[in-house]
Structure 1
Amino acid sequence: MNIVKKNKSTILLIAVMVLAALYMFFGYKDRVKHLDSENVAYTIGEITDFGWGSKSSPSFTFLFSIDGKEKKGFYNITNELATTINNSIAEEEYFGKKFLVKYSVDKPKYYEMYLDKPIPDSLYNCNGCEWGKPPF
């Protein structure tokens, strides 16, 4: 009887883990599908904060606007910048800077900021601007 109880617990634990993995996998696939579709738009994001996770990569917090509503986004720093950045570098070189943000029109919760595409001076004061294609 005790063995059956242990097996039920193990089976339940494995089932929960498999369901969680499937949820994460299909969530990722949905995000990729929406960001690779034709129904995306571009806007401007401004970096406002920098943080360190205890077991995750450093990240920037940025603000961007969709249909006049301000949203908060996060950019995980996973390239070589992650090994060199600190609070003073983030403040001096990134705070207040603006970069291109791509988002899904159907599901605006899916977005990505392009740290390699800083906003040019000609568009720097363009607040709330949105484009169907990258403006530069």
Structure 2
Amino acid sequence: MSKQPHLTSGKALRITLAKRLTDAPNHPSGFDYMRLPLATLVVCSHAINVCYGKDFTYAVWRGPARPLLAIILPMFFALSGFLAAGSLERCRTLVSFVGLRGLRLVPALAVDTMVGALLPGGASKSPRFA
């Protein structure tokens, strides 16, 4: 089977990056889907130390996985920066951009703060805190 370009009215259909960005209102959703696995990898790479301790963490970081582990966090921050820059470009004013960022970040921060305050505090059974 030979690979031939799709034909529309006898002309080859050209799909370019510019056309794809225009079709997706300059917001390619593939980057959003890429951020989820990267965020999961960031959490997993940090969980190595929490779950297995310092000695195991040093052994993992000295092993062959080091280049992969070292690149996860910069990739996540770079991708998040690209998405935030795209959001800034789509906003009409800086005030609306900051407001939208606040609406996105504050609920997660509130939940994280409550979990961080209640979970360790509720787990304490020490008599000196009673």
Please, what TM-score do these two structures have when normalized by structure 2? 0.27
Q: TM-score, normalised to structure 1's length?
A: 0.26
Q: Which structure is richer in relative contact order (CA contacts within 8 A, separation 6 or more)?
A: 1
Q: Which has the higher helix share?
A: 2
